[in-house]
């Protein structure tokens, strides 16, 4: 297989685009896809301050690398969740620090235990009805939003790519979770006071393309998935969708893009699009569906019981 641009041997064949590219042209093509997504979904304008949520994994570190290459003033945020298994959180933090040091890029770290007194596994043990992963998701959402808001960033960018979004779409469709379907989008506007705009600039790229990008760019990242079990269902859906893609190249992309189009044309979910009324949390001020404390602030109450999130989730 040869690069369609220069005839050199291709390092990747992207069947859904019928496109093979050499290393040099692939490293040009990926940022161009990201730039197209930023423009098409009106994610942010040049000069707007972008906060990139970086986990130390291939997707978010590559996203940060691409935004810097494109000339956006992107700063990183790493949340140390205190996951002790194989030093998962500390090793991830080292990868982020090393990446930032190599590029002289600005970043900050929030250490959940240092800031709030307990790690994610400790909170999950204390709160009956909460798993580490549901606690982790809630804590991450809250801190990412808070740091972006308080730091005066225009927008928060995450490393979700097409495979992540398609897996979520598939899961939400299987359950006809209309509320989640209504909110699943490449750009989530700041719909309520205290919430920042959230964007997913890797939305045009498959996960294998991001893995190839990190490899070809020489980005050192954490290979391990979260050591708790949340990944299991998502990984199962991803493998089903990959079987579909194998038989029909482009199926994942078209499932997602057709969904966005149908929704934009108003053929889908009219009832779910109606606005949920939100209230500011009496402690931290972030928007929440019920008056009183938000789900994050309730985590630190000592009653031991938690009946789930009421916060505005992605």
Query: Which residues form the interface with ligand AMP (CB under 6 A)?
Result: 53-55, 59-60, 77-79, 81, 140, 158-160
DSSP string, 75-86: EEEEEE----GG
Does residue number 136 form part of the binding site for ligand FES (CB under 6 A)? yes
By the 10 Å C-beta count (0-12 exposed, 13-18 middle, 19+ buried), 153 is classed as: buried
Q: Does 122 bind ligand FES (CB under 6 A)?
A: no
Q: C-alpha angle with apex 233: 232 to 238, nearest 5 degrees? A: 100
Report the C-alpha gap between 295 and 157 in whole angstroms: 22
Cα of first residue to Cα of last residue in the chain, in angstroms, is 40
User: What x/- string results for residues 284 through 313 when contact with Zn ion is judged by CB under 5 A?
Assistant: x---------x--x----------------
User: How far is Cα 91 from Cα 69, in angstroms, rounded to an integer?
Assistant: 25
Output the CA angle 40-37-287, nearest 5 degrees. Answer: 85
Of 78 and 153, nearer to ligand AMP (C-beta) is 78
Q: How far is the CB of 185 from ligand AMP (least distance, A)?
A: 15
Three-class DSSP category at 218: coil
Q: Between residue 252 and residue 281, which ones bind Zn ion under the rule CB under 5 A?
A: 281
Rounded to the nearest whole angstrom, what is the least distance from the CB of residue 17 to Zn ion in the complex? Answer: 15
Rounded to a whole number of angstroms, the minimum distance from the CB of residue 79 to ligand AMP is 4
Q: What is the Cα–Cα distance from 101 to 93, expressed in whole angstroms?
A: 12
| Binding of residue 25 to Zn ion (CB under 5 A) | yes
Q: Under the criterion CB under 6 A, does residue 185 sit at the interface with ligand FES?
A: no
Binding mask of the shown chain, residues 64 to 93, with x at each position contacting ligand FES by CB under 6 A: -----------------x------------
- Which letter does DSSP use for residue 281 in this model? -
- Rounded to a whole number of angstroms, the minimum distance from the CB of residue 230 to ligand FES is 4
Smallest CA-to-CA distance from 37 within 125, 154, 158 is with: 158
159 binds, among ligand FES, ligand AMP, Zn ion, none (CB under 5 to 8 A by kind): ligand AMP
- Provide the binding-site residues for ligand FES, judged by CB under 6 A: 81, 120, 132-133, 136, 226, 228, 230
């Amino acid at each position: 297989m040869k690069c369609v641009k220069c005839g050199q041997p291709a390092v990747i064949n992207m069947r859904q685009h019928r496109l093979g590219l050499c290393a040099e042209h692939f490293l040009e093509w990926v940022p161009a896809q990201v730039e197209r997504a930023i423009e098409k979904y009106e994610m942010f304008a040049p000069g707007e301050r972008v906060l990139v949520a970086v986990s130390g994994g291939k997707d978010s570190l590559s996203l940060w690398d691409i935004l810097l290459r494109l000339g956006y003033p992107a700063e990183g945020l790493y949340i140390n969740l205190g996951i002790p298994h194989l030093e998962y959180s500390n090793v991830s933090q080292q990868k982020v620090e090393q990446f930032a040091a190599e590029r002289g890029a600005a970043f900050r770290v929030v250490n959940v235990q240092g800031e709030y007194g307990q790690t994610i596994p400790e909170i999950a043990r204390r709160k009956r009805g909460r798993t580490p992963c549901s606690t982790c998701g809630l804590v991450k959402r809250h801190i990412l939003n808070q740091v972006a808001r308080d730091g005066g960033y225009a927008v928060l960018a995450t490393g979700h790519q097409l495979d992540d979004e398609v897996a979520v779409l598939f899961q939400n469709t299987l359950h006809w979770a209309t509320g989640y379907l209504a909110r699943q989008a490449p750009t989530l506007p700041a719909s309520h006071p205290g919430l920042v705009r959230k964007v997913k600039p890797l939305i045009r790229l498959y996960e294998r393309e991001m893995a190839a990008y990190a490899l070809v760019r020489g980005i050192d990242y954490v290979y391990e998935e979260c050591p708790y079990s949340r990944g299991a269902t998502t990984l199962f859906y991803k493998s089903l969708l990959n079987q579909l893609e194998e038989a029909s190249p482009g199926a994942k992309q078209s499932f997602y893009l057709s969904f966005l189009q149908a929704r934009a044309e108003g053929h889908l979910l009219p009832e779910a699009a109606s606005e949920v009324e939100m209230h500011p949390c009496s402690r931290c001020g972030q928007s929440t569906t019920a008056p009183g404390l938000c789900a994050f602030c309730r985590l630190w109450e000592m009653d031991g019981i938690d009946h789930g999130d009421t916060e505005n989730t992605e």
